[in-house]
């Protein structure tokens, strides 16, 4: 039988979908190329925004309409946060939450025999599962390794603590073994991810630097960090991270707002001053590093003055890139109940202004790399005229094609120009 997978959301979800794929394949299932040819469709959901919920419902409706006989298995954050979703998604045959999604293959096989629908949303445990380990991701240059799950922050706009449970961490022994397995499978870069990655090791004697050190012993050429929350990045952790030679100098440090008033109302655990200090430390310990971020505009109650403060702060940091998005109401959170919601046209104007500010600093960062030599990991060939990959600071780099493929090869590349959306370079030694 054939199974098709679709993933909504973050790299943690992508990792967990690969775990599901691995489990199904170990049972003899084959992967389908699309839902039309699948006997089973597995959808791993996200519920960060109401828009992601809408896209999920649209996909489920479409699958059932175009492939009436397929089995639809829904799992992940949406059912966990909204356990009554079985009523709104009657097309789904199997519904599991976040905490028990890895039991899905057994549930699907039982459904094949019994044809009895099931909705099983279980409480999320406090312990990290000992059996979670990925062996490889087919045809991928990089591999994600999940080392942390859950969040204790309860930001006023965010539903994720309800969808993912409390913070918990993979053991260092688990991390070492999984990293070695992924490196042995040919992955040259391992990306450490978590729901709140900076929180790794909470309530233990370990921290994020210990986890990265464990990954560094795997034999992988490079290690990259996923999105980081700033409040847990102490000077000590940053100093110890700087001692790990194969850690990529790229830090996605979530900001959300550059206005202290807005940060307090968001229930974020830092202010502009502490955020600036963390960026300063990173740039001091990792010269030339790329600092990227997430920026929300139009949070409830954000006045023109609040936005102006955020706008000026973003310009002062000079990010290498940023994901900019307007606030959207997420039912079930305190911010959704506020009566001072910002009109959509104002959000759009603010998002455009913020994008323009980041565009200037992004261009400046790209141009600052011209003349430097960057280590580039080349990926699957896409264009007939160029080899393409990512530098250690996560810049897209292209070089003129001179051989059949450079897939999974690491080369030193001298940057000769900064183009729109990428850097153009030449390999230092062929």
pLDDT in tens, 242-255: 999 999 999 999 99
* Crossing angle of helices 11-26 and 104-114, rounded to 10°: 50
Residues 55, 17: contact at Cβ < 8 Å?
no
Q: Which residues, 6+ apart, have CB-to-CB distance to 130 below 8 Å?
A: 171, 174
DSSP secondary structure code for residue 152 in this structure: -
Q: Residue written as tokens 């655990």? A: 269
Q: Where are the domains of the chain?
A: 2-120, 142-366, 373-427
Q: Give the range among 82-91, 256-265, 327-336 with minimum mean pLDDT.
A: 82-91
Question: Which tokens sit at 100?
Answer: 């028990």
373-427: CATH topology is OB fold (Dihydrolipoamide Acetyltransferase, E2P) (2.40.50)
DSSP three-state, residue 293: strand
Q: Where are the beta strands (DSSP E) in 46-91?
A: 71-76
Distance between CA atoms of 343 and 334, rounded to whole angstroms? Answer: 18
3-state SS, residue 289: coil
- Rounded to an integer, the average pLDDT of 324-342 is 96
Q: Go through the chain and tell me how many residues it has.
A: 430
Which residues fall within 8 angstroms of residue 98, CB to CB, at 6 or more apart? Answer: 75, 76, 77, 79, 80, 124, 163, 164, 165
Spell out the residues 6+ positions from residue 114 whose beta carbon is closer than 8 angstroms to its own: none
For Cα atoms 352, 296, 280, give the angle at the middle one, nearest 5 degrees: 100
User: What does the buried/exposed string (b/e) look like for 211-221 if buried means 16 or more CB atoms within 10 Å of the residue's CB?
Assistant: bbbbbbebebb
Most distant CA atoms of the chain, gap in Å: 65
- The three-state secondary structure class of 377 is strand
Q: List the structure tokens of 198.
A: 């900076």
* Average pLDDT score, the chain: 95
| DSSP state letter for 110 | H
More confident call, 290 vs 87? 290
The tokens of 156 are what?
A: 């006023």
Distance between CA atoms of residues 136 and 185, nearest Å: 6
Q: How many CB atoms lie within 10 A of CB 122?
A: 14
Q: Considering just the CA atoms, what is the radius of gyration of the chain in Å?
A: 22
Phi and psi angles of residue 376, each rounded to the nearest 5 degrees, phi first? -115, 130
Contact 258, 313 (CB under 8 A): yes
Q: Which residue has the tokens 């600036």?
A: 276
Ramachandran angles phi, psi of 245, nearest 5°:
-65, -30
What's the mean pLDDT in 384-406? 95
pLDDT for 203 equals 85
Tell me: pLDDT of 345 over 90: yes
Give the separation between CA 399 and CA 378, rounded to whole angstroms. Answer: 10
CATH architecture of 2-120: 3-Layer(aba) Sandwich (3.40)
**Averaged pLDDT, 330-353:** 97
Is the pLDDT higher at 310 or at 384?
A: 310
If one counts every other C-beta atom within 10 angstroms of the C-beta of residue 228, the result is 21
pLDDT in tens, 26-74: 999 999 999 999 999 999 999 998 889 999 999 999 999 999 999 999 9
User: What band does 430 get if pLDDT is binned at 50, 70 and 90?
Assistant: low
Report d(CA 55, CA 8) in Å as an integer.
9
Q: Model-level pTM?
A: 0.94
Sign of CA dihedral 96, 99, 100, 104: positive
Q: What is the pLDDT of residue 130?
A: 82
The CATH architecture one would assign to domain 142-366 is Alpha-Beta Horseshoe (3.80)
Residue 87 has pLDDT above 90, yes or no: no
228's tokens: 């980081």
């Amino acid at each position: 039988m054939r199974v098709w997978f679709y993933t909504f959301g973050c790299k943690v979800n992508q990792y967990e979908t690969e775990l599901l794929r691995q489990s199904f394949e170990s049972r003899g299932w084959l992967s389908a190329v699309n839902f039309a040819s699948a006997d089973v469709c597995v959808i791993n959901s996200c519920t960060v925004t109401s828009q992601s919920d809408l896209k999920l419902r649209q996909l489920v409706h479409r699958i059932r309409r175009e492939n009436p006989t397929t089995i639809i298995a829904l799992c992940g954050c949406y059912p966990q946060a909204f356990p009554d979703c079985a009523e709104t998604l009657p097309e789904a045959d199997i519904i599991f939450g976040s905490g028990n999604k890895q039991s899905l293959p057994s549930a699907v096989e039982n459904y094949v025999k019994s044809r009895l629908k099931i909705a099983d949303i279980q409480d999320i445990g406090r312990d990290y599962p000992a059996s979670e380990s990925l062996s490889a991701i087919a045809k991928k240059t990089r591999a994600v390794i999940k080392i942390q799950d859950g969040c204790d922050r309860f930001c006023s706009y965010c539903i994720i603590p309800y969808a993912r449970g409390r913070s918990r961490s993979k053991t260092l022994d688990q991390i070492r073994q999984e990293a070695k397995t992924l490196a042995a499978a040919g992955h040259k870069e391992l990306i450490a991810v978590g729901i709140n990655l900076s929180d790794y090791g909470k309530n233990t004697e370990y921290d994020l630097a210990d986890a990265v050190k464990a990954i560094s012993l795997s034999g992988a050429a490079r290690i990259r960090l996923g999105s980081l929350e700033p409040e847990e990045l102490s000077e000590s952790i940053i100093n110890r991270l700087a001692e790990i030679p194969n850690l990529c100098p790229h830090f996605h440090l979530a900001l959300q707002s550059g206005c202290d008033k807005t940060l307090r109302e968001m229930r974020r655990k830092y202010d502009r001053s502490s955020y600036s200090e963390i960026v300063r430390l990173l740039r001091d310990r990792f010269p030339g590093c790329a600092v990227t971020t997430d920026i929300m505009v139009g949070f409830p109650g954000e006045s023109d003055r609040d936005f102006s403060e955020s706008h000026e702060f973003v310009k002062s940091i000079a990010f290498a890139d940023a994901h900019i998005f307007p606030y959207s109401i997420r039912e079930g959170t305190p911010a959704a109940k506020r009566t001072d919601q910002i009109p959509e046209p104002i959000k759009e104007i603010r998002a455009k202004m913020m994008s323009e500010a980041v565009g200037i600093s992004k261009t400046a960062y790209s141009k600052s790399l011209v003349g430097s030599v960057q280590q580039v990991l080349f990926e699957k060939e896409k264009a007939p005229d160029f080899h393409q990959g990512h530098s250690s600071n996560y810049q897209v780099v292209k070089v003129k094609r001179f051989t059949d493929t450079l897939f999974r090869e690491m080369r030193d590349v001298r940057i000769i120009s900064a183009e729109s959306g990428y850097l153009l370079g030449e390999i230092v030694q062929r």
